[in-house]
Structure 1
Amino acid sequence: MAKKSIEILDTTLRDGSQAATISFTLRDKIKIALLLDELGVDYIEGGWPGSNPKDYEFFREIKNYHLKHSKIAAFGSTRRKDLRPENDPSLSSILEADVKVAVLFGKTWTLHVKEILRTTLEDNLSIIADSIQFLRDHGLEVIFDAEHFYQGFKEDPDYAIRVVNTAGEAGARVVALADTNGGTLPHEVLEITRRVAENTRVKLGVHMHNDSGTAVANSLMGVVGGARHVQGTINGIGERTGNADLIQIIPSLVLKMGYRVLKNEDGLKKLKQVSSTLYELAGLHPNPFQPYVGDNAFTHKAGVHADAVMKNTRAYEHIDPSLLGNQRKVVISELSGTSNLVNYLEKLGIKVEKKEEKLKKALKAIKEMEARGYSFDLAPESAMLVAFKEMGIYEKFFDVQYWKVINENGLALAVVKVNSRVEAAEGTGPVHAVDVALRRCLSKDFPEIERVKLTDYRVVLPGEVKNTESVVRVTIEFNDGERSWRTEGVSTSVIEASIMALVDGLDYYLQLNKKLKPLVAKE
């Protein structure tokens, strides 16, 4: 039996761009549209061509690209009450956009008809019918967004259903029921959508906002109620608290509810990439806790969880993360068990029994360091150095015997003594100066150290840690062109904490490159 299909209309470029603080350039909009096409959504709502020059330019520019999967749709409103369709600027702008699909919104709630449009209920039905028929007569496919539908249905269900049927009879291919103010809850969406489906023949869709924190659930309940078309945005960006997040809706429809969604068969595996790119273009930090694609969505911290997942991933994972382009992580922390360490060591090709006494000693040392302010879930490689030492597989390649930093009057100067070799260096800041001086000492014996670059530097003030002074935690990320790793330092001095993280980072690289390289390569 063939799977039923659900259409996806992405409105990131229109409704999503209405989010506060977000402003896409024309180039951004083109890049997002191409990304959505590659994902395989059915419709890309490109914007409202009658509202601003940028959206108008988008529709001209996108014609220079060949889309494989998606149709471009232009958004607009029904005609003004005192204008004929052919004289209405909003409808004319849709025609000028030269698209094959129009998304038209109109009033469903009697409050809006009477107090916002200030017209009669019958005249509103004529406005909707005229507008849809006008676009249909010009050869466009029309999707009608029934604005404030659920609010309207609660006050006057008969009129709300008349709006849906009027739009369908006028030629709308889909009527999307919109929870425009985001105030409807999932059980209400299910009941109302089901009642509408029983009283109309038109294909139904849903368009949910997240003001009650239920936009994703509402969208899924709309489908259960009979909708076969879902609108939303990537990462749920949009007005106020946002729209329904397609990144969550799509895998739920496919993997949980058994629907055929996305025209690209490999689209699911692109979800994390699409989500990450959209965050970047929107100037937002990715949400690490976002379901399905967040960096922490399949991250296991507690020792019990890590142990169970290593035995059977289904124990604490509802799906395989690779289906979405994501990956499983087991982090090291004060909540860890030996399984967490075993997982990291095995990735380095080091086989060890979970009950190994040396492993238990390493875990104890790591937990003691976390009690002093370390956070090894952020910098697991510093924890690995502890494990290497406790297990007797660590080799000391260098010894930092002395360091001093001068940072005053715009001068950052560092002097270090490593393996009896003294070097001085000036930098753009104290950390940079120490880094340069360390490398000068080490590069003579370890020229490969020049491949290591610092890619991120973060300072956190964890506050009072037990009965000690307030400390500072510095996390540094490194990359050698093939892999990335993070190490940490904790001290009452930000300079000292930085040097500790720097030394750990370079030390870890040498351990892997000199001592453990054969094991890692074999792995």
Structure 2
Amino acid sequence: MAKQRLYLYDTTLRDGAQTQGVQFSTQDKVQIATALDELGIDYIEGGWPGANPTDSEFFDQSMKTRATLTAFGMTKRTGRSAANDDVLAAVMNADTKAVCLVGKSHDFHVEKALGISLEENLTSVQQSIEHIVAQGREALFDAEHFFDGYKANPAYAIAVIKAAYDAGARWVVLCDTNGGTLPAEVSAIVGDVIAAGIPGDHLGIHTHNDTENAVANSLAAVDAGARQIQGTLNGLGERCGNANLVSLIPTLLLKEPYASTFETGVKQTSLQGLTRTSRLLDDILNRVPARQAAYVGASAFAHKAGLHASAIAKDPSTYEHVDPAQVGNARIIPMSNQAGQSNLRERLRAAGIAVEKGDPALGRILEVIKAREAEGYSYDTAQASFELLARRELGQCPKFFEVKRYRVSVERRKNKYNQMVSLSEAVVVVKVDGVKKLSVSESM
């Protein structure tokens, strides 16, 4: 059976830029867009042309990408035609192949936030999408607050997205803008939308992570028939963030039933660059990568418990759901007071030190590590310190010099200001390469 096409839409450069503490430069945006394109993302939303100088400058770069570069904006304002709305004109002037407009789909927001009638909002959505299509662009419609709107007034929420679809929108995107919808609700509502006449292969999902369900909600929408997922790298986004594409992409490519059902623009070979892409974003933002991030975190494939490490040495699948190399990550066997000889031998192997199983030195090394960790030391990720300790216990640490004798004396005397001060003098004799050397030093 032929695989179904599932499209990935990245909004890191727009919704991700709305993260508290995040500020992209134009060059940052170009670098991120290039990485997204190399990864195989289908749509890259570059920002809102005309809303700020950075977004406008980004679109002025006229980047050549395999991905469909998309400009973001809003539907026309009431009292103006789509052709005469200067805000919409700025979006169109970015000259992108695709344009995504956000519009209200919750009656409460239409009447309270916009202060217009429900019918006026439908007209605005319809005419805005028609204007994009008439210019030969691919139109996408982000139905803001759709899930809350559907739960409050399903007939009106459906009317809004049908207005966009009937006007020619290639994609109608259902947005859980407040992030409070749960997976079972998403699944049921997406099913209702498809039953109402919006085909699944024209339906997208845009979730927020306010209940820690953005990824689960995205998968629930796909299970129910949606065929576009919007998200961001590392889950950047307003408040608690958006659906994390860094988690979603490997799940779609490596987990069933998605792997055998869907095809995306990201190929298996590109997937191996996922960890690098995730950490590139953190580098740009000057942030420490989240150690426990799914798939790409430094601890995602770390096995600290001795029992786990022992099983991993026999077969990694005992405690790993995927091969870390598939996402460009690596396995780590940390040393700690919970470690056993399996952890130790694996850590020694990584350092290029071969020790036979059952060697008494292994027990001595573990005892030293546990004693030092009880004093506050940590060898969890301190590979160099661990290697020095191990080589010393194994008798493999080179002896660069030998202290033969030393003497330190301290005397109290008056200085020229008639103040009592301390004078310290040290004499040391060392043997280096078979030659004795004497050194004397003093300090006051």
| Equivalent residue number for residue 234 of structure 2 | 235
One of 51, 63, 66 as aligned partner of 2:64: 66
Deviations 1:460-517 (A, max 9, x none): xxxxxxxxxxxxxxxxxxxxxxxxxxxxxxxxxxxxxxxxxxxxxxxxxxxxxxxxxx
Q: What is the SS of the residue equivalent to 1:382?
A: helix
Amino acid at match of 2:12: T
Q: Which residues in structure 2 correspond to 1:87-98 (within 5 Å)?
A: 87-98=84-95
Deviations 1:309-361 (A, max 9, x none): 11110111000011111111111111100011110222344332332222112
Q: What is the SS of the residue equivalent to 1:329?
A: coil
Listed as ranges, the gaps of 5+ residues in structure 1 are: 405-414, 425-523
Contact 1:363/1:387 (8 A) holds in 2 = no
Displacement after TM superposition at 1:216 (Å): 1.2
Q: Which residues in structure 2 correspond to 1:191-230 (within 5 Å)?
A: 191-202=188-199, 203-230=202-229
Displacement after TM superposition at 1:255 (Å): 0.8
One of 124, 147, 171 as aligned partner of 1:127: 124
1:338 and 2:313 are equivalent in the alignment: no
Provide closer, same or farther for how the CA distance between residues 32 and 399 of structure 1 changes in structure 2, counting only shifts above 3 A.
Answer: farther
1:8 and 2:5 are equivalent in the alignment: no
Q: Which residues in structure 2 correspond to 1:486-501 (within 5 Å)?
A: none
Provide closer, same or farther for how the CA distance between residues 358 and 118 of structure 1 changes in structure 2, counting only shifts above 3 A.
Answer: same
Displacement after TM superposition at 1:293 (Å): 0.5
1:322 and 2:325 are equivalent in the alignment: yes
| Equivalent residue number for residue 413 of structure 2 | none
Displacement after TM superposition at 1:158 (Å): 1.8
Taking the aligned partners of 1:143 and 1:364, their CA distance within structure 2 comes to: 63
Q: What is the SS of the residue equivalent to 1:299?
A: coil
One of 136, 142, 147 as aligned partner of 1:145: 142
Taking the aligned partners of 1:165 and 1:360, their CA distance within structure 2 comes to: 70
One of 71, 85, 99 as aligned partner of 1:102: 99
One of 355, 359, 364 as aligned partner of 2:358: 355
Taking the aligned partners of 2:226 and 2:326, their CA distance within structure 1 comes to: 25
Contact 2:73/2:100 (8 A) holds in 1 = yes
Provide closer, same or farther for how the CA distance between residues 72 and 393 of structure 1 changes in structure 2, counting only shifts above 3 A.
Answer: same
Q: What is the SS of the residue equivalent to 1:94?
A: helix
Q: What is the SS of the residue equivalent to 2:175?
A: strand
Amino acid at match of 2:19: A
Displacement after TM superposition at 1:72 (Å): 0.7
Contact 1:50/1:89 (8 A) holds in 2 = no
Contact 1:50/1:76 (8 A) holds in 2 = no
Q: What is the SS of the residue equivalent to 2:179?
A: coil
Displacement after TM superposition at 1:51 (Å): 0.7
Contact 1:105/1:147 (8 A) holds in 2 = yes
| Equivalent residue number for residue 32 of structure 2 | 32
Q: TM-score normalized by structure 2?
A: 0.88
Taking the aligned partners of 1:85 and 1:46, their CA distance within structure 2 comes to: 22
Contact 2:334/2:380 (8 A) holds in 1 = yes
Amino acid at match of 2:205: V
Listed as ranges, the gaps of 5+ residues in structure 2 are: 409-425, 432-436
One of 155, 162, 166 as aligned partner of 2:163: 166
Displacement after TM superposition at 1:159 (Å): 1.5
Amino acid at match of 2:242: N
Taking the aligned partners of 2:378 and 2:165, their CA distance within structure 1 comes to: 58
| Equivalent residue number for residue 180 of structure 1 | 177
Displacement after TM superposition at 1:119 (Å): 1.6
| Equivalent residue number for residue 247 of structure 1 | 246
Contact 2:351/2:387 (8 A) holds in 1 = no
Taking the aligned partners of 1:248 and 1:80, their CA distance within structure 2 comes to: 37
Contact 2:144/2:176 (8 A) holds in 1 = yes
| Equivalent residue number for residue 305 of structure 1 | 308
Provide closer, same or farther for how the CA distance between residues 416 and 157 of structure 1 changes in structure 2, counting only shifts above 3 A.
Answer: farther
Provide closer, same or farther for how the CA distance between residues 86 and 421 of structure 1 changes in structure 2, counting only shifts above 3 A.
Answer: farther
Taking the aligned partners of 2:173 and 2:407, their CA distance within structure 1 comes to: 67
| Equivalent residue number for residue 263 of structure 2 | 260
Taking the aligned partners of 2:193 and 2:103, their CA distance within structure 1 comes to: 17
Q: What is the SS of the residue equivalent to 1:142?
A: strand
One of 293, 312, 318 as aligned partner of 1:290: 293
Displacement after TM superposition at 1:403 (Å): 12
| Equivalent residue number for residue 392 of structure 1 | 395
Stretch of structure 1 that moved more, 376-385 or 316-325: 376-385
Structure (1 or 2) with the larger CA radius of gyration: 2
| Equivalent residue number for residue 112 of structure 1 | 109
Taking the aligned partners of 1:403 and 1:163, their CA distance within structure 2 comes to: 89
Displacement after TM superposition at 1:260 (Å): 1.7
Deviations 1:220-274 (A, max 9, x none): 1111111110111101111111111110011111111212222555221111111
The structure whose RCO (Cα within 8 Å, separation 6+) is larger is 2
Taking the aligned partners of 1:354 and 1:89, their CA distance within structure 2 comes to: 75
Amino acid at match of 2:309: A
